[in-house]
Structure 1
């Protein structure tokens, strides 16, 4: 099987929204050879370039037409290529967890890499804010996401309804991880995290 066929087969097995770079194929061949294979696929319209060095498969919606690449997928591909760690910042996490209806004006991620702004084609650039590695790498990704959301809401605004909402929305495996990662959360979160993990509301403390 040729390198081009191997690259194409792998892309077909991935979810269509996945963003990738030539560094996702290092086990198949050199970056130069993979880059040439991707360029030929782009020229043939089988994949599209969403950012220099990054691609996805074109997706369309019957009403919306051609869909843009998901910024989360682009960031995930950049993280795989560079090795940087990412964590959704507090207000964004709270919104995505539906703990608040307030939509943040900016999309912000915390990272162990240097702070910078990424223009991914949206209205506003995505902000990457540096945080020490020890504050990002310890807990699991899903637990860090919950910690960030609760921290943004604030201890005095964590209601039984919000705890019950998280207990219902989180997958069982993610609730179990909350208990494993309890040591990495502030002490004031512990009663709420235990209640979320148990699947029941906890009164404000």
Structure 2
């Protein structure tokens, strides 16, 4: 298969993705070998289809009608692209989890995640993405949705969650996801699980 055909396959995958989606070379190695993916992604960067946001990480630029220019990269999507690149399990923590779930409109300067990888920080424009190491044992047995909900509840605090926040959390997940969260969350702190049970009432 020639280079044009490989690039066409990559462009088709990128076209199907939402604006703001982040990619790494490993996202395309099912289509081609690593070196071909590297050359192809470089060509798509020059074409403007992709934008390099960090070493080895690219996004499909979003256009801001308000600013009349490309918007800054989506920190959460970039964080997950980094995690895929290194095969880390990650979970947003603190204010980051609230922002991801729409419980806060305040954009944090530091986007923080627990990670099965090393503690590390990545500068991203005027923001930063921080990974704080946690052992696989601490993250094992829970899906990313369960970990996300637990961190959001912790960030809100005991006795502070409102009916509005419960409704937002309930609507953030499908019925199937809520069922799994209810099952997986049994081993978390008791007060957090009591909140999870309230959220997962269907």
TM-score greater than 0.5 by the shorter chain: yes
Residues 63, 165 of structure 1: CA spacing in aligned structure 2 closer, same or farther, 3 A cutoff? closer
Structure-to-structure mapping, 1:1-205, within 5 angstroms: 2-64=5-67, 65-97=69-101, 106-122=110-126, 124-160=127-163, 162-199=165-202
TM-score (norm 1): 0.82
- How many aligned positions are there? 198
Residues 162, 50 of structure 1: CA spacing in aligned structure 2 closer, same or farther, 3 A cutoff? closer
For the residues of structure 1 that align with 2:12 and 2:98, how far apart are their CA atoms? 38
For the residues of structure 2 that align with 1:6 and 1:182, how far apart are their CA atoms? 40
TM-score (norm 2): 0.83
For the residues of structure 1 that align with 2:179 and 2:54, how far apart are their CA atoms? 37
For the residues of structure 2 that align with 1:114 and 1:31, how far apart are their CA atoms? 24
- Give the aligned CA root-mean-square deviation in angstroms: 2.5
Please say if residues 109 and 128 of structure 2, whose CA atoms lie closer than 8 Å, have aligned partners that are also in contact: no
Q: Could you tell me how far 1:165 is from its partner in structure 2?
A: 4.7
For the residues of structure 1 that align with 2:65 and 2:103, how far apart are their CA atoms? 31
Residues 18, 100 of structure 1: CA spacing in aligned structure 2 closer, same or farther, 3 A cutoff? closer
Q: Could you tell me how far 1:73 is from its partner in structure 2?
A: 1.4
Unaligned runs of 5+ in 2: none
Please say if residues 163 and 196 of structure 1, whose CA atoms lie closer than 8 Å, have aligned partners that are also in contact: yes
Q: Could you tell me how far 1:98 is from its partner in structure 2?
A: 5.5
Unaligned runs of 5+ in 1: 200-205
For the residues of structure 2 that align with 1:56 and 1:159, how far apart are their CA atoms? 36
For the residues of structure 1 that align with 2:103 and 2:153, how far apart are their CA atoms? 8
Which structure has the greater CA radius of gyration?
A: 1
Residues 38, 177 of structure 1: CA spacing in aligned structure 2 closer, same or farther, 3 A cutoff? same
Residues 136, 167 of structure 1: CA spacing in aligned structure 2 closer, same or farther, 3 A cutoff? same
Q: Could you tell me how far 1:30 is from its partner in structure 2?
A: 1.6
